[in-house]
Chain A
């Protein structure tokens, strides 16, 4: 166990911890040489960013100040933001949950055992959920309470300096905001919420949010319509191409309706799927077409991209995007919005934005999974589960399960279409995060991806290996991780690549809609491309 205390964040050191002695992985990854070593930041990066926490740079906008006045300015901005977190006028929407989690922690450390980052790292002290929260508390108490004896009595015995502020800013990006820790807290307190509040302070006050979430994420989405940068014209081209591709692969033409006024359903996908996993949206087009649903896509701003990165770091950006999405639906006059396979968008759209509007603006939002299960259950689609003749396990996206309570529909579908389904342990509402939650999956500018694959994904990779335990080393057998969430898919892509699990052991990943279409009897070819040589 590291002999590190929260107060140590203020003390100068090259790096607070070394990323060694991580949690061991099961066979065949228990052998030396099965995973690459992690590369921490070099001198050049360390001069410009905060690499003094663990050698990893998560927030690439957190620039190290070069001069004394710059240092003072950072500290001053931080303290201003700290104040604003606790004002009703500037943080009324989260003040009550913040104060509860901030004031009442008994530091019993029950949360640590539930945290996949802490456990995966081999129990590194700085990754304890309470470590980050305690630094946050101590800085606030030191700053607010004054008077050294009283401050120390209350637990504000910490120095405020630029190192502490920057390390706290980085620490906020070592938590996936999966909130598994809050599930076990005897007082119902939430370290995930505190991590997000710290991110919020850095973004809303200091303008220091990771570039891929903010500038190239939510800002880009509000400007072009999508965080991928796909503008309306490009989106329309892509949909046209998708129609042709579906026709080529299935021999059947499916219309992808766009901007259809008065449709029953506005379906919104994560636009990243159009680039990286087009089989997902295409599968939806096939299923909705076969079921004869009255649906449409939108080409409006945020109408064709359900991504809302604001959920991860910034209330104001989250609000703007959620309102744009509702505006797109309102202008089309649809009856309901259905969110495709994207976990954070599920929550941002259905839950987080639920108290932003009222009356006629409040167009109902729902998950795609109950609708898909309804179609499967009622035999609207003709399916043959034998076509999915390979082991399948299901990853539960935190935002869909733990934060929305959608547990059964996706399971029922998989059980109906995959005869070799095997659950991970634990699963459902007690699942572990994929490791890429809260934006990590897309934050690939410096070396956070290495940390993600090595540390935050470690528990999930272990679960995958355990779910396929008897078949992992059978390379001729395809093993499929169903990850019905774009962010989780991105994580699995990077994770399986990092551990070379596809090339070595034929472990694949993908969504849920693709499995349904792959089981449809009317197509001669398997829908999943990697099966074309396996199913006759």
Chain B
């Protein structure tokens, strides 16, 4: 039962810490505009060359056009292909992409395991699909392909990145011990997964764990599987505490900083936010330079007409 609780705990910790981090960033005060073009939420004809609404005379009179599709397309390209790295640093991309693709395949694998566990709990038998049950075949093959591809890509990616960081002179001098540790931690999870997979090519162990989690039953595990579960769980707890949680940071870095070119138009949502921010109390921590004292003149300049 201890392993089962550890699994619940690690999943819960991963989700809680990640969500907490998301809201921590989301609750930060409205920042000054810091956009950088190309901004993909501009209509396609402008986003193509990096243009914006500022190219129009009297731009504030023109209807504001936002391309959510353009934004989503750009996000998906970045998420699934790590496009910026592919274009600008191909050598690094091979291993980075391998690692990230491995994670995506393993997420898919987890979905297949869950589907398989539910299927088996409902009384069906998961085999290769030779009996003509399409669903059973799909789940079984899907589990095999996604799990196999995932663990192999993850192993290659984490090994490659670790070695690059070790032997590339530039990467080496900017890497902290934690950077190596993070990659080794991922590699340890991947290798322990390979060992377990070697003894159970159909990933039956995975479905058994999921079934145990769904039915609150003890997880049956040998030494290799126990080590794998402990490492994976610890990694899940560790990731949100580190910069590996960049799945959260990327959202804010792109959507809330680089692509946020929302103008402060009359009666807009952003105007309401600005009014709220401006009406907040003045800062209690002030800077020490002589010119940093908030002068009456500045208060007068910024205080006028705020309530209009």
Chain A residues with a Cβ under 8 A of chain B: 1, 5-6, 77, 80-81, 84, 87-90, 92-97, 99-101, 103-110, 112-114, 130, 134, 152-155, 157, 179, 182-190, 193, 203-207, 214, 219, 314-317, 319-320, 323-324, 327, 330, 336, 350-352, 354-362, 364, 366-367, 369-371, 373-374, 401-409, 428-430
Q: A323-B298, A405-B37 are in contact. Are A188 and B177 (CB under 8 A)?
A: no
Least CB distance, A111 to chain B, in whole angstroms: 9
Residue of A nearest to B287 (CB): A204
Stretch at the interface among B80-88, B111-119, B216-224: B80-88
Contact between chains at B34 and A113 (CB < 8 Å): no
**Does B69 belong to the interface (CB within 8 Å)?**
no
Between A and B, 25 residue pairs with Cβ closer than 8 Å are A81-B288, A87-B285, A88-B29, A92-B29, A92-B283, A104-B249, A109-B170, A110-B84, A113-B88, A153-B181, A185-B84, A188-B253, A214-B291, A316-B287, A320-B301, A352-B32, A356-B302, A357-B278, A357-B302, A361-B305, A369-B55, A370-B55, A405-B51, A429-B37, A429-B50
State whether A361 touches B37 (Cβ < 8 A).
no
| Residues of B contacting A373 in the complex (Cβ-Cβ under 8 angstroms) | 57
Q: Which of B275, B290, B301 sits near A323, CB closer than 8 Å?
A: B301
The answer on a CB contact under 8 Å between B35 and A403 is yes
Q: Which residues of B contact A (CB under 8 A)?
A: 25, 28-39, 42, 46, 49-60, 78, 82, 84-85, 87-89, 92, 96, 169-171, 173-179, 181, 243, 246, 249-250, 252-254, 256-258, 261, 263-264, 266, 270-271, 274-275, 277-278, 283-292, 297-298, 301-302, 304-308
Are A358 and B271 in contact, CB atoms less than 8 angstroms apart?
A: yes
Of residues A100, A157, A428, which shows the largest number of chain B Cβ atoms within 10 Å of its Cβ? A100
- State how many angstroms separate the Cβ of A181 from the closest Cβ of chain B: 10
Chain A residue with Cβ nearest B263: A354
Is the Cβ of B29 less than 8 Å from the Cβ of A93? Answer: yes
| Residues of A contacting B38 in the complex (Cβ-Cβ under 8 angstroms) | 405, 429
A403 adjacent to B36 (CB under 8 Å): yes
In the complex, what's the smallest C-beta–C-beta distance from A12 to chain B, in angstroms? 20
**Is A107 in contact with B32, judged by CB distance below 8 angstroms?**
no
A421 smallest CB distance to B (angstroms): 17
Whether B289 contacts A205 by the Cβ 8 Å rule is yes
- List, in ascending order, chain B residues with CB within 8 A of A114's CB: 88
Nearest CB in chain A: distance from B277 CB, A: 8
Whether B253 contacts A110 by the Cβ 8 Å rule is no
Chain A minimum-CB-distance residue to B265: A362
> Would you call A153 and B176 a contact (CB within 8 A)?
yes
Q: Closest CB-CB distance, B156 to chain A, in whole Å? A: 18
- Minimum CB–CB distance for A219 against chain B, Å: 7
Q: Which of A100, A355, A361 interacts with B249 by CB under 8 Å? A: A100
Q: How far is the CA of A354 from the CA of B263 in the complex (A)?
A: 7
Report the nearest A residue to B246, measured CB to CB. A104
CA distance A437 to B265 in the complex (A): 29
Whether B173 contacts A5 by the Cβ 8 Å rule is: yes
A407–B50 CB distance below 8 A: yes
- Whether the pair A206, B263 counts as a contact (CB closer than 8 A) is no
Q: Which of the residues A108, A317, A366 comes within 8 Å of B89, measured between beta carbons?
A: A108
A200 vs chain B, min Cβ distance (A) = 9
With A106-B243, A110-B89 as contacts: A374 and B178 at CB distance below 8 Å: no
Determine if B59 and A366 form an interchain contact, defined as CB atoms under 8 angstroms apart. Answer: yes
Contact of A219 among B28, B46, B291 (CB under 8 A): B291
Q: Are A97 and B34 in contact (CB under 8 A)?
A: yes
Query: With contacts A95-B31, A207-B288, A359-B271 known, what are 9 further pairs, Cβ within 8 A?
Result: A87-B285, A103-B249, A110-B85, A185-B84, A203-B289, A355-B32, A355-B264, A358-B271, A359-B308
A184, B283: Cα distance in complex, Å? 35
Closest to A315 in B: B32
Q: Known contacts A352-B32, A403-B36; is A358 also within 8 Å of B274 by CB?
A: yes
Chain A neighbourhood of B290, CB < 8 A: 207
Q: In the complex, which of the residues A1, A81, A193, A401 contacts B287, with contact meaning CB atoms closer than 8 Å? A: A81
Expressed in whole angstroms, the Cα–Cα distance for A157 and B177 within the complex equals 10
Cα(A359)–Cα(B274), bound, Å: 10
Residues A402 and B308 in contact, CB atoms below 8 Å apart: no
Q: Are B301 and A359 in contact (CB under 8 A)?
A: no
A349 to nearest B CB, angstroms?
11
Distance, CA A362 to CA B306, complexed state (A): 10
Q: Chain A contacts of B243 at CB under 8 A?
A: 103-106
- Shortest C-beta distance, B251 to chain A (Å), equals 9
Contact A370:B33 (CB < 8 A) given known A87-B285, A184-B88: no
B107 to nearest A CB, angstroms? 20
- Give chain B nearest CB distance to A178 CB in angstroms: 10
Please pick, from A1, A319, A362, the residue contacting B266 in the complex, using a CB distance under 8 A.
A362
Q: Given the complex of chains A and B, what is the CA–CA distance between A389 and B39 in angstroms?
A: 36
Tell me, rounded to whole Å, the shortest Cβ–Cβ distance linking B298 to chain A. Answer: 6
Contact residues in A for B34 (Cβ distance below 8 Å): 94, 97, 190, 193
Q: How far is the CA of A410 from the CA of B275 in the complex (A)?
A: 35
Given A359-B307, A374-B57, A429-B38, check contact A90 B286 (CB 8 Å).
Answer: yes
Q: Complex formed: what's the CA distance from A207 to B289 in Å?
A: 5
Q: Shortest distance in angstroms between A1's beta carbon and chain B's nearest beta carbon?
A: 7
Q: Which residue on chain B has the smallest CB distance to residue A316?
A: B292
Q: Find chain B residues with CB under 8 A from A184 CB.
A: 84, 87-88
Determine the chain B residues whose CB is within 8 A of the CB of A109 once the complex forms.
89, 170-171, 174
> Does A405 contact B55, Cβ atoms closer than 8 Å?
yes
Q: How far is the CA of A317 from the CA of B297 in the complex (A)?
A: 13
Instruction: Give min CB distance, A310 to chain B, whole Å.
Output: 10
Query: Which residues in B have their C-beta under 8 angstroms from that of A361?
Result: 304-306, 308
